[in-house]
Structure 1
Amino acid sequence: MDELLAQFLIEGREQALEAGADLAALQRGPADPARLDRCFRAVHTLKGSADLLGLTPMGRVLHAAEDVLGRLRGGQGEGGDFSVLLEVADQVERWLDDLDTVGVLPESASAASQALIARLAGDGAAPQVAAADDWDGASAFPGRAGVAIRYRPRADGYFAGDDPIAIIKAVPDLAQLRVSLAEPVADPALYDPFRCTLVIEALSTAALPAVETALRLVRDQVALATLRAAEAFAPAGVEVETARRTLRIDAARVDQLADLSDQLVVAKGGLIELAAQAERGGDGQALGQALRAKQAELDRLVAALHTTVGQARMTPLAPLLGRFPRLVREIAATLGKPAALEIEGGEVEVDKAVVDGLFEPLLHLLRNALDHGVERPEARTAAGKPAQALVRLSARTVGDQAVIEVVDDGAGVDPARVRDRAVARGLIDATSAEAMSDAALVDLIFLPGFSTAETVSSVSGRGVGMDAVRAAVTRLGGRVEIDSRPGLGTTVRLALPIRMVLAKLLVVESAGERFGLPLDGVAEIARVPADRIFPIRAGRAFVLRDEVVPLVDLAQALGAEAGPSSDRVVVAGVGGEPVGFAVDAVVERIDAVVRPMAGLLAGARGVSGSTLTADGSVMLVLDLAELLA
């Protein structure tokens, strides 16, 4: 995929999402001149880019939409029917998806474009689309690669001093040229030599910017199309490489990375000198001190580099969240359930990996909210609710986590129905189900194979969805919670790490294995002799500064046999209360990158992730609160 198209897919999607959001707001409420102006600018920019890339159907419909928006800005029309304009924005998003996956617009693009233009014409006078916009560069120069040009000079161009032939001759690397008359001349004697009726078609093998520069003075009279050779296009049904993943990074952060890399090079040079001293048999104590100092310097640089890279990978959620309004409209229309989507918190920034992995889980949640949560219009009216449902997709930061919520005002989840379906599907036995709380029953919807749908539809009902949500969020290092009130609606809450950071871990040994404990949850390390430990109910406890603290053997909590008795106890906060964990030994404190668990260990209880130790072995990082839950 060429660089120009890749850039268009990034910027074009942003402009389409912006236009769609503004049009949806204009459709719901009174006309807002600022929104109307912003929408007009986005459509105008999209149209220009589509024309430059030779995306004729897209360019034509955007030109027509631009004309309608122009009339509305000028006060013409009675408020305007924004529903058709919103369909244009949705169609442009679908075309951008097609370009991203197969590199070309679908064969149906021309018909879809003509249908939308005809509908837009119903808003007033038919949009006047220039003849140049109807031109298909690929058909004019079949099988050729390059920049196709169609230059239709103004009728009064001669009086303005234009020389069309000289202008087209200035285009670099012309490979083909064709000159014709726009209007046939029946009688040469009646031909008006002072009126320009030329149509000039040409093909250049130069880069698009060079062609644009040569034609910059007559750009309004020119249509351009970037053509690729026929073999460059994938045959129908064959996928090609999608657009490369890109990330916009602030220049200041790039400068920070460059500075840190320079410092690391200098630090590496210092290690070479120390190695040379060791080979010469230098003073061992002085060499050890120098190595310690160099290690401290490297620790500082590596931590700073990791932090800066993490900051560079941060990206706002707005582009991701902006993809859902169109999808919600399409799903709602399929289900026959009018619904509006409200979005909040697009400015929240998270790691790019989290953004990339969130689309499918959020789409599942929105589908389920519309299919299972939202009632049909007549049922909502009978319940005293507006016929149009409201779904809210919001994001906010809480500490070092991003919390994303999908909230609907539908019927909610009925715990009794969930229990009956889970038992009927054999997912849980009846005795266990009867003993479960309502909250625990609602949580059963995340079990694989669970569904409350009575029939299978194109949207849901196959028992695949909510379990996939939990699995995807767990892979990203997050968790999923659900809160539902029958008759009032459901909230599904995702809590995800904002960025991948170097975690400070306390390494302990228990039952012959080493484990990492998050240091921010550790209050202190104490020595508790056996004579200070006393039984309390079914467990043990000890007194720490006049406070009774429960004592848990870490090995037993992990399901292993307890090792030899030790007086080392790690005191950690669990649920706001101190809890002591007896360990065999406290080894060291380290900085490490903690990765979420995957595969068979993804659901391991009490394990939040894993990391690699200095010798290359894998060490589990424990979640002490979950271990005791």
Structure 2
Amino acid sequence: MDELLAQFLVEGRDLVAHAAAALDMLVRDSGNAAAIDDAFRAIHTLKGSVAIFPMTAAERTLHAAEDVLERARKGSMPLDAAATDGLIACLDGVDRWIDAIERHGTLGTDADGIAASLIARLPGHAPAPVVSRSAATPDWARQLADGAEGAVVAFRYTPDPDCFFRGEDPLAIVAAIPDLLRLDIRPAEGSWPALDAIEPFRCFSILEGLSAAPLEAVRAAFRMMPDQIALHRFEAAAGAPATEAPAEAGAASTLRIDAARIDALADGIGELLVAVHALAPLAAQAEAHDRVLAGAVRTAQARIERSAAELQRSVASVRLVPLAPTLRRLPRLAREIAATLGKSVAFAIEGDGLEVDKQIAEGLFEPLLHLLRNAIDHGIEDPASRRAAGKPPEGRVTLTATRDGDAVAIALADDGGGIDPARIRAIATAHGLLDVDAASQLSDAAAFRLIFVPGFSTVETVTGVSGRGVGMDAVQAAVEKLRGTIAIDSKPGHGTRFRLRFPANALTTRLLVIEAAGDRYGVALDQVVETVRVAASALLPVGEGTACVLRGRTVPVLSLGRLLGGAEVPGAYAKLLVTNAQGERVALRVDDFADRIDAVVRPPSGLLAGVSGIGGATLLGDGGVLLVLDLPALVA
């Protein structure tokens, strides 16, 4: 992908999110001057950005939206609900066009028609005529290029008189043009005003100049004000020498790095951790021959471990990205879903500035979108039903992101009809998933977990938008792929809340090394509830299986060795690893517990990719391969 386009996709989406937040505030308070200014600045900047690319329809739409906001800023046209809705529609349209540019490199053949319909929704606005650019080179451009050597670009920059109020510095903008050969500053009115007639806060100059840089590079310097610039490129005849270019603007403080390089650095951290783990057995071997040497090895190991841990924290911090870009499309999609269903829904996002590992940010959108669809479709009631229930006609869905210790907690809550656990039990019985006795013994929390069973649905007719339960198994799979968990809280008549938790650091995984069936395996510590040792006599037969009582609860016990196709080591005591499977506690009997290590776990590939219950693999310090078990999949 072109570097300039990649930068635009990031910045453009940030500007869309910024403008959307301001417009959302205007929906609640149409006279909020600060929100109007924020929306204007974001849309004005976005208009300049899209002008660099083949996005004429988007530029025209943003120009119209900017015009409406400019009049609102000056007080000549107050924003009503229709105007705000039109602005939101324009922004949503541009948001889709940004996606189209990323996927296809073009807006599509119907872009002009869509732009016309969007602009028509803006009250009191007459779309600006499209100015055709003549191929003739004007005199001012010829005069600038006279005597220059090679290919040059002549530019005429006519700053908006109010540019200072928007924080624009015309001289700084021109100074950033690469390979600047000449710069002339002329009065906009033909002659300079008298000193006592000068208004110091208005710009009355025109800046003309010449650059040896390519046309697109010069255009990029003016991407924020495309309507104030004229450019002409031509091959100038050899002649007078070019003027010396002024000093370049200060270097940027932000460095953009390809994500693949960060991933490669993370892999290097994994190799370093493997090397560090190899020092412990070397020290143990040296102990029998030379205690001084063994002590020196352990000292070196401790120093390397501290340095590796610091490097790991640094790389982990570089991988952190804000959630805002991941969540930016959800408000627009929420509006579209609600409009399709004829419902009125207010969707709010809290904590989108929270930073998470990029792996989590990249995998979070799809499960959240599915939960949002379900919340609006089958969680939020229609306005008439809400009035009958004593609720406001407008439903509310809130997405909240917070940091909870070493985890990232995300909750999506609605104030809709909730999930009835009795109905869940009845549907499970009717579909043959449970018998009547088993269903009646389910707790409400366990009944809610049934919606994650593949194909389970609480609706008889699934809409075109979603079906609560249909596809929820895919949501759970996506969350667990990110080493996360999902829980449900719901109260009939009052709403539902889905709680998602993810590890804050996805770079390395803290593993518990265990032994089962004569081999070593790794288990992610976030899948371990606790480890206990009980007398073998405490394991009692229950039906066709085995169970024991832990902390006042009866917990089924499975043999990990047998699950893996081997046998377990008998003994007077049983070592149990307790985990969660489908919302319930399950104990796995293992042969022994070993070390706890930090490792980079690589996803299963090749033959391992088709083995159920294997979550990945990592290398040990002795060169051996450690398979990492996926406990929820193994005991399902």
CA distance in 1 between counterparts of 2:215 and 2:290 reads 64
Question: What displacement does 1:380 show?
Answer: 1.0
Amino acid at match of 1:47: K
The answer to whether the 8 Å contact 2:600/2:618 transfers is: yes
Question: Could you tell me whether the CA contact under 8 Å between 1:508 and 1:584 is conserved in 2?
Answer: yes
Distance in 1 between the 2:540 and 2:394 partners?
Answer: 56
Asked whether the equivalents of residues 350 and 402 of structure 1 are also in contact (C-alpha less than 8 Å), the reply is yes
Is the partner of 1:393 in helix, strand or coil? Answer: strand
Preserved contact between residue 616 and residue 628 of structure 2 (Cα < 8 Å): yes
| Partner in structure 2 of residue 590 of structure 1 | 597
> What is the SS of the residue equivalent to 1:78?
coil
In structure 1, what residue type is equivalent to 2:355?
A: E
Maintained 8 Å contact 2:153/2:215:
no
1:468 aligned residue (466, 469, 474)? 474
Distance 1:99 1:168, change over 3 A: farther
For the pair 1:163 / 2:140, whether they are aligned, the reply is yes
| Equivalences, count | 525
Partner of 1:369: 375
Q: Secondary structure at the match of 1:52?
A: coil
Q: CA deviation at 1:429?
A: 4.3
Counterpart of 1:394 in structure 2 is 400
> Where does 1:601-620 land on structure 2 (aligned, <5 Å)?
611-614=618-621, 615-620=623-628
What's the offset of the Cα at 1:376?
1.1
Structure-1 separation of matches of 2:333 and 2:389: 27
**1:347 corresponding residue in structure 2:** 353
Q: 1:525 Cα shift?
A: 10
Counterpart code for 1:344: E
| Residue 465 of structure 1: how far off its partner (Å) | 2.1
> Which of 72, 94, 97 is the aligned partner of 1:95?
97
Letter in 1 for 2:217: P
CA contact (8 A) 2:401 2:411 kept: yes
Change (3 A) 1:366 1:571: closer
1:118 maps to amino acid: A
Q: Does 1:357 align with 2:363?
A: yes
1:170 Cα shift?
A: 8.9
How far has the Cα of 1:406 moved from its partner?
1.0
Q: How does 1:315-354 map to 2 (within 5 A)?
A: 315-354=321-360
Q: Distance in 2 between matches of 1:551 and 1:107?
A: 62
Deviation at 1:493, TM superposition (A): 1.1
Q: Would the alpha carbon gap of residues 563 and 412 (structure 1) be closer, same or farther in structure 2, given more than 3 Å must change?
A: same
- Note the alpha carbon deviations across 1:75-96, whole angstroms, 9 max, x for none: 1113342110111111110101
Within 5 Å, give how 1:495-574 maps onto structure 2: 495-500=501-506, 502-516=508-522, 561-565=567-571
Corresponding position of 2:173:
none
Alpha-carbon distance change, 525 to 540 in structure 1, aligned in 2, over 3 angstroms? closer
C-alpha separation in 2, matches of 1:505 and 1:48: 50
AA in 1 matched with 2:10: I
Mark the CA change 1:379 to 1:587 in structure 2 (over 3 Å): closer, same or farther: closer
Separation in 2, partners of 1:500, 1:437? 33
1:568–1:585 CA contact under 8 A, matched in 2: no
Structure 1 residue runs of 5 or longer lacking an equivalent are 142-149, 154-161, 178-193, 196-203, 227-245, 542-546
2:11 matched residue in structure 1: 11
- The one-letter code of the counterpart of 1:35 is A
Question: 1:111-260 to 2 correspondence within 5 Å?
Answer: 111-120=113-122, 122-123=123-124, 126=126, 129=128, 134-135=130-131, 163-167=140-144, 206-210=214-218, 220-222=227-229
User: What percent identity do the matched residue pairs reach?
Assistant: 44
Letter in 2 for 1:356: E
Q: Aligned residue for 1:489?
A: 495
Q: 1:535 to 1:340 in 2, by over 3 A?
A: closer
- Please tell me whether the aligned partners of residues 553 and 562 of structure 1 are also in contact (alpha carbons under 8 angstroms): no
Secondary structure (helix, strand or coil) at the match of 1:452 reads coil
Task: Tell me, yes or no, if the aligned pair for 1:65 and 1:85 is still in contact at 8 Å.
Answer: yes
Distance 1:114 1:324 in 2: 25
Cα deviation for residue 580 of structure 1 reads 12
Q: Are the equivalent residues in 1 in contact too, given 2:52–2:220 (CA < 8 A)?
A: no
Q: TM-score, normalised by structure 1?
A: 0.69
Q: Which amino acid aligns with 2:77?
A: G
Match of 1:147 in 2: none
Q: Which moved more, 1:354-363 or 1:511-520?
A: 511-520
Amino acid at match of 2:624: G
1:337-392, Cα deviation, whole Å (9 max, x unpaired): 11110110112211101010011100100111111111111111111111111111
Cα shift at 1:290: 5.3
Measure the CA separation in 2 of the matches of 1:451 and 1:522. 30
Tell me the distance in 2 between the aligned counterparts of 1:79 and 1:488.
Answer: 34
Q: Which residue number in structure 2 is paired with residue 457 of structure 1?
A: 463
1:212 and 1:518 mapped to 2: Cα distance?
48
**Structure 1 CA distance for aligned equivalents of residues 440 and 331 of structure 2:** 40
- Distance in structure 1 (CA, Å) of the matches to 2:152 and 2:423: 71
Q: Determine the structure 1 residue equivalent to 2:171.
A: none
Aligned amino acid, residue 332 of structure 1: A
Residue number in structure 2 paired with 1:31? 31
Write out per-residue CA displacement over residues 182-224 of structure 1, whole angstroms, 9 at most, x where no aligned residue. xxxxxxxxxxxx99xxxxxxxx9925124567x99x9755467
Residue 452 of structure 1 deviates from its aligned partner by: 2.6
Q: What is the letter of the counterpart of residue 165 of structure 1? A: R
C-alpha distance in structure 2 between counterparts of 1:410 and 1:368, whole Å: 11
1:406-421 map, 5 Å: 406-421=412-427
What residue number does 1:188 align with? Answer: none
Q: After the TM superposition, which residues 46-65 of structure 1 pair with which residues of structure 2 at under 5 Å, given as runs?
A: 46-65=46-65
Q: 2: distance between equivalents of 1:93 and 1:485?
A: 36
Residues 351 and 499 of structure 1 are in contact (CA less than 8 Å); yes or no, is this contact kept in structure 2?
Answer: yes
Residues 551, 581 of structure 1: 8 Å contact kept: no
CA separation of 1:395 and 1:39: change in aligned 2, threshold 3 A: same
Residues 44 and 522 of structure 1: is their aligned pair in 2 closer, same or farther, counting only changes over 3 Å?
closer
Could you say what secondary structure the match of 1:23 adopts? helix
Over 3 Å counting, the alpha-carbon distance change for 1:570 and 1:490 in structure 2 is closer
Deviations along 1:391-425, one digit per CA (max 9) or x if unpaired, are 11111111111111111111111223333433444
RMSD: 4.9
Describe the shift of the 1:225–1:594 C-alpha distance in structure 2 as closer, same or farther (beyond 3 A): farther
User: Residue by residue, what CA displacement relative to the aligned partner does 1:67-115 show, whole Å, maximum 9, x if unpaired?
Assistant: 1111101111133421101111111101011111111111111111122
Aligned to 1:312: 318
Moved more, 41-50 or 289-298: 289-298
C-alpha separation in 1, matches of 2:598 and 2:361:
25
8 Å CA contact 1:54–1:225 kept in 2: the answer is no
Match status 1:108 vs 2:110 = yes
How much has 1:319 moved relative to structure 2?
Answer: 1.7
Residues of 2 paired with 1:390 and 1:478: CA distance? 26
Aligned counterpart, 2:201:
none
Aligned to 2:87: 85
Distance 1:423 1:491 in 2: 25
CA 1:378–1:168 in 2, change beyond 3 Å: closer, same or farther?
farther
Counterpart contact for 1:517–1:622, Cα < 8 Å: yes
Q: TM-score of the superposition, structure 2-length normalised?
A: 0.69
Deviation of residue 460 (structure 1)?
2.0
